[in-house]
Amino acid sequence: MGSASSASRVIFLDVDGRTQKVVFSRFCSPCDIKELFCTATGLSRNTTISLLDSTGAMVSIDPTMPNNSESSPYKVVPITGGQLADKEEVFQNVLTQVAEQFSRAFKINELKSEVTNRLAMLEKRVELEGMKVVEIEKCRSDIKKLREEMASRNSSFLEDNKKLTPHRDVSSYPKYMLSQQTIDALRKPTFDVWLWESNEMLSCLEYMYHDLGLVKDFNINPITLKRWLLCIHDNYRSNPFHNFRHCFCVTQMMYSMIYLCNLQEKFTQVDILILMTAAVCHDLDHPGYNNTYQINARTELAVRYNDISPLENHHCAVAFQIFSQPDCNIFANVDPEAFKQIHQGTITLILATDMARHGEILDSFKQKLKMVLIKCCDISNEVRPMEVAEPWVDCLLEEYFMQSDREKAEGLPVAPFMDREKVTKPTAQIGFIKFVLIPMFETLMKLFPQIEEVMVQPLRESRDRYEELKQIDDAMNEVQKKKSENLTVGGKKK
């Protein structure tokens, strides 16, 4: 069982000079945590609060907030929203609200309409209330700044929209013929990603999709693949680290792992497509500032995604905005059900790259592995030698028949595999071994190859033995049936 503490967070608060310990689940929402802090400090649960550290810096209130100690508790500060006294403060408050609404707006048309309406209200108040010249000039200056910011963001949005299509056409995409030496190196983790220019990296990525059979299996238009890769290139920024070369580096390592671990024998082609595509798209439009900055600076991305993996959610959004462009949609010929699986799978993998979730994902992997291990052990009798395993089959069938006899007596539904009139030992075991035991143990064998000889092979032999017994039973039943038919016919003749 996992540690209970791994699912909880402990935060220390300064409540009127004494330290209050607060414990909550890491699965709590930010709203639940704020209400808990209010209760701990004696405030009304719906009080708007800020959280300050020992230096006076604001701390984001969410499940991923930084840990503190009893010696450095956070201070909860209620935020009051009373009426301001003079007109200048009223106008400053309205302007602040406009700015806050502006920063939270997602759609540019709604943003433009909202800000325009509020600006009109401000201008009308300036005219009607006859403020002092200094106050009027200050208000107009603020209005001008807001308009300039709106125009700047509108321009930026349009530029971002243009990036959703490649800046150059496929005709200007140089075609590189990869040498056998390059192809061999491309499949190894030792591949030197620093030796290649952008166009060469694009050619290598294109080759990977062809080499893995993804272009053929998913009927990807080769020209669309080229355009998509160009668009991917154009939507990585020129950051020192999170740039297109990093995208290529991650995808090449995924490609090498697919070969090194023989993943095409273990996963479906849909899984391989998801792995490769998630690697290509996993840091699209990364601004060069991580999630901690986004949350602490209350950026538009942090607000949009409620402080939950804002960058990774943004990478997913940009990826599927690109796929929504017909010229860049490499999934155009994929059926809707498969696309739904690709869509969800790609999002899941990109979100998994958030380092804040590293411990959670590792714990989940270990927990799932432990669940598989105990399941295997619970139904493992057929792994044992025949003389040990077969008595357990007799015991199980006896218990099944006991239950089915009682169900019949009480008029309850009876499962066919428990009915003594329908089940034999071979029929009971063949399906269970073929469709439950062998697939589960073979899956575990991929992680622990050493179990093949001592566990998986005995299961295969047990399956074969029961199939032979079934053939013998079937032959004997056929003979018995013919004897019965002959006796019947003979009786009529007499």
For residue range 428-470, what is the model confidence (pLDDT) as tens digits?
999 999 999 999 999 999 888 999 999 999 999 999 999 999 9
* Half-sphere exposure for 196 (CA within 13 Å, toward CB): 22
What are the extents of the domains in the chain?
8-78, 180-476
Asked whether the whole model's pTM tops 0.75, one would answer no
Q: Would the pLDDT of 150 be above 90?
A: no
Question: Is 180-476 the same fold as 8-78?
Answer: no
Q: Would you state the pLDDT for residue 168?
A: 64
Contact assessment for residue 12 and residue 54, using Cβ atoms and an 8 Å cutoff: no
Work out the end-to-end distance of the chain between its first and last CA atoms, rounded to an integer number of angstroms: 74
Residue type, 435: F
* Complete edge-to-edge strand list for the sheet that includes strand 74-78: 18-25, 8-15, 74-78, 49-52
Name the β-bridge partners of 18.
Answer: 15
Q: Would you state the pLDDT for residue 403?
A: 93
Q: Would you state the pLDDT for residue 67?
A: 86
Fold of 8-78: Ubiquitin-like (UB roll) (3.10.20)
By annotation, the residues acting in catalysis are 242
pLDDT band at 80 (very low <50, low <70, confident <90, very high): low
Q: Tell me which of 39 and 92 has the higher pLDDT.
A: 39
3-state class (DSSP) for residue 164: coil
Binding-site annotation, residues:
242-246, 282-283, 378, 429
Q: Tell me which of 481 and 157 has the higher pLDDT.
A: 481
> Across all residues in the chain, what is the average pLDDT?
84
Q: Would the pLDDT of 342 be above 70?
A: yes
| Gyration radius of the chain's alpha carbons | 33
CATH code assigned to 180-476? 1.10.1300.10
- Bridge-based pairing state of the strands 18-25 and 8-15: antiparallel
- Averaged pLDDT for residues 343-356: 91
Binding-site annotation, residues for Zn(2+):
246, 282-283, 378
Q: Would the pLDDT of 82 be above 60?
A: no
Rounded CA gap, 402 and 419, in Å? 9
Q: Would the pLDDT of 205 be above 60?
A: yes
What is the rounded (10 degree) CA torsion for 360, 286, 227, 347?
Answer: 20
Q: What residues contact residue 469 under an 8 Å CB cut-off, 6+ apart?
A: 425, 426
pLDDT-above-70 percentage for the chain: 81
Distances (CA, A) of 247 to 31, 202, 232, 381: 36, 11, 9, 48
Long-range Cβ pairs for the range 168-176 (8 Å, 24+): 168/230, 170/223, 170/226, 170/227, 170/230, 173/199, 173/202, 173/226, 173/230, 174/199, 174/203, 175/203, 176/200, 176/203
